[in-house]
Chains A and B, each alone.
Chain A
Amino acid sequence: MAKLRVGVVSPEREIWTGEADMVIAKTVDGEIGIMPNHAPVLGVLVEGGVLRVKRGDEGDLVAAVHGGFISVADNDVSILAEAAELGSEVDVARAKDALQRAQASIEADQEDADARLQAKRAAARLRAAGEEV
C-alpha cells in the first residue's frame, strides 16, 4: 500500500519528517484522518490540538500542534504549525505547572483569553506526552 510522506514543520525548524500510514489532526471543523490517496485538502488547525501519525510497527508519533495548517496533496502531508512539540520532547513537569498557572488565572479572571490559550496549549502538550488531562 502506498505510504504518506509526512513533514511537520514550524517556522523555526523542521520538527519531524518520515513515512506514515495515517495522519490524524484536529482542524477547526473537527478531526480529520488522512490515509494514502486522500484527495487534496488544505485545513486550518485548532490551537492546542494533538497530531497523531500512525506508522504501523514503529508505533504512533504524537505531537502537540498549536495553530497552523495541514496540507495534503499527492500523498504528501505537510503540517505547518506555528509551534509544535513532539510528545517525547515535552517536559511534563513544566507543562503541568503551566496548566495550573493558566487555570489559576482563568479562575481569577474569566475573560482572560491569554490564559485560556495557555491552558489549551499546556493541555495539548500533556496529552501529546501521554498524560491524562
Chain B
Amino acid sequence: MGAQLRQLRRRIKSVKSTAKITRAQELIASSRIVKAQQRMQAAVPYEREITHAVSAVLSNTTNVDHPLTVAKEQPATAGVLIVTSDRGFAGGYNANILREAEALKGHLTGRGLAVKPYVVGRKGITWHRFRSREMFGEWDGFSDNPSYADAKEIADALITAFKAEDGIDEIHVVYTGFVSMLTQNVIVKRILPLEVEEAETAPEGIPPYYEFEPTAGDVLDSLLPRYIESRIYNALLQSAASEHAARRRAMKSATDNANELIRVFTQQMNQARQAEITQEISEIVGGANALADAAAGKE
C-alpha cells in the first residue's frame, strides 16, 4: 500500500472520531437548551409578580429615598458583572461577551469612572487572570445550570459593595439574552441604581392603593434586594440557555465541517487507490509483454 493512501486513511479515521465527539456535544447541548428554556419559563411568574410588587410600592410612595434607587451625584466607580461560561466549545459566545464588556469599560472610563469587574464563569475568570486584571468577585461552576442560590450569592456581594462607603456607585451587567434557538444577543444593562422595568403588559388603570405590613419603607427594604436577585437570576438563566444554543450551533458546524473533510479525503483516497491499481496493472501488463516478447525472440 502506498504511503499517500496510508496517510489519508489515518486522517479520515481521526476526523471521524472528532466528528463523533462534536456530534455528541451537539446532541447534549440540544437537549440542555430545552431544559434551560423550561427553567427560564418556570422563573417567569416570580419575576412578573416581584416586578409588579416593586412598581406597586414605588407608585404608592412618592417620597422614597431608598439607597438602592438613588443615583449618587458624583459616581466614581462602577462594578461590571460579566456573565461568561465555564466551558469553551461554544463558538464566539465568550468572545462576544468579553468584547462588549470591554466596550462598556471604555464607555465608563470615558465618563470618568473606575471600573471594577465581577466575573461569572471560568472562561471570563481566566481571561482576566491572563491579562492580570484585578477582579472584585469571581464565581464559577454553575454557568450551564445556575440555581437561585447562585444568583443570591452574587447579588449579596454586589449589594454589599454598592452600600459600602468606598464601594461601587453603579452596577452594570453584561450577559447574553436568549431570544430564540438561533438568535442570542449580548445585553448590557445597568441594574443599580435601580430602574424598575415595567412588565411587558402594563397594568391597566391606576395601581391600587396598597396597605403595607409593616411599613412601605420596610417592605421596600426587603423587596429591592429580592428584585435585584431576580434580575441577576434571570440574566444567569438566559446566559445558560444562550450558552447551550451557542454550543449547539458551534458543534453543528464543526460536525458538518468534519463530514465535508471526510468526503474530500475519501475521494482523494479512492483516487490514490485507483492510481495505485492502474499502475500495478500497467506494470503487470508491461512485464507480461516483455516476457512474451522475450519468448517470441527465442523461437
Do A and B bind? yes
Q: Is the CB of A40 within 8 A of B223?
A: no
B214 and chain A: residue at smallest CB distance:
A29
Q: Is the CB of B226 within 8 A of A42?
A: no
Q: Is the CB of A40 within 8 A of B210?
A: yes
Which one, B45, B208, B223, B226, contacts A9 given CB within 8 A? Answer: B45
Query: Which residues of the partner chain A approach B198 to less than 8 Å between Cβ atoms?
Result: none
Q: Is the CB of B219 within 8 A of A11?
A: no
Query: Which residues of the partner chain A approach B52 to less than 8 Å between Cβ atoms?
Result: 71, 78
**Binary B-proximity of A1-40 (CB < 8 A = 1, otherwise 0):** 0000001011111100000000000011100100000011
Asked if B229 is at the interface (CB within 8 A of a chain A CB), the reply is: yes
Which one, A10, A43, A73, contacts B46 given CB within 8 A? Answer: A10
Range of interface residues on chain A? 20 to 34
| Closest chain B CB from A11 CB (angstroms) | 4
Q: Is the CB of A41 within 8 A of B233?
A: no
Query: Which residues of the partner chain A approach B39 to less than 8 Å between Cβ atoms?
Result: 12
Q: Is the CB of A44 within 8 A of B57?
A: no
Asked if A64 is at the interface (CB within 8 A of a chain B CB), the reply is: no
Asked if A82 is at the interface (CB within 8 A of a chain B CB), the reply is: yes
- Size of B's binding interface in residues, CB under 8 A: 29
Whole-angstrom distance between the alpha carbons of A14 and B42 in the complex?
6
Query: Which residues of the partner chain B approach A12 to less than 8 Å between Cβ atoms?
Result: 39, 42-43, 46, 147-148
| Closest chain B CB from A105 CB (angstroms) | 20
Q: Is the CB of A11 within 8 A of B212?
A: no
Query: Which residues of the partner chain A approach B229 to less than 8 Å between Cβ atoms?
Result: 11
Asked if B85 is at the interface (CB within 8 A of a chain A CB), the reply is: no
Asked if B293 is at the interface (CB within 8 A of a chain A CB), the reply is: no
Query: Which residues of the partner chain A approach B208 to less than 8 Å between Cβ atoms?
Result: 40, 73-74
If the complex has contacts A12-B39, A42-B56, are A69 and B219 also in contact, measured as CB distance less than 8 A?
yes
Asked if A80 is at the interface (CB within 8 A of a chain B CB), the reply is: yes
Q: Is the CB of B218 within 8 A of A44?
A: yes
Query: Which residues of the partner chain B approach A80 to less than 8 Å between Cβ atoms?
Result: 46, 49-50, 53, 226
Whole-angstrom distance between the alpha carbons of A68 and B226 in the complex?
8
**Binary A-proximity of B72-91 (CB < 8 A = 1, otherwise 0):** 00000000000000000000
Which one, B43, B211, B214, B219, contacts A39 given CB within 8 A? Answer: B211
Q: Is the CB of B230 within 8 A of A11?
A: yes
Q: Is the CB of A44 within 8 A of B233?
A: no
A74 and chain B: residue at smallest CB distance:
B208
A12 and chain B: residue at smallest CB distance:
B148
If the complex has contacts A7-B49, A42-B56, are A27 and B226 also in contact, measured as CB distance less than 8 A?
no
Query: Which residues of the partner chain B approach A44 to less than 8 Å between Cβ atoms?
Result: 213-214, 218-219, 222-223
Query: Which residues of the partner chain A approach B42 to less than 8 Å between Cβ atoms?
Result: 12-14
Which one, A28, A32, A43, A71, contacts B49 given CB within 8 A? Answer: A71
Whole-angstrom distance between the alpha carbons of A11 and B233 in the complex?
8
For this complex, 8 residue pairs linking A to B, each with C-beta atoms less than 8 Å apart, are: A27-B214, A29-B214, A32-B213, A40-B211, A41-B212, A42-B57, A69-B223, A71-B49
9 smallest beta-carbon distances between A and B, as pairs: A43-B213, A40-B208, A11-B148, A13-B42, A9-B45, A40-B210, A9-B46, A78-B49, A27-B213
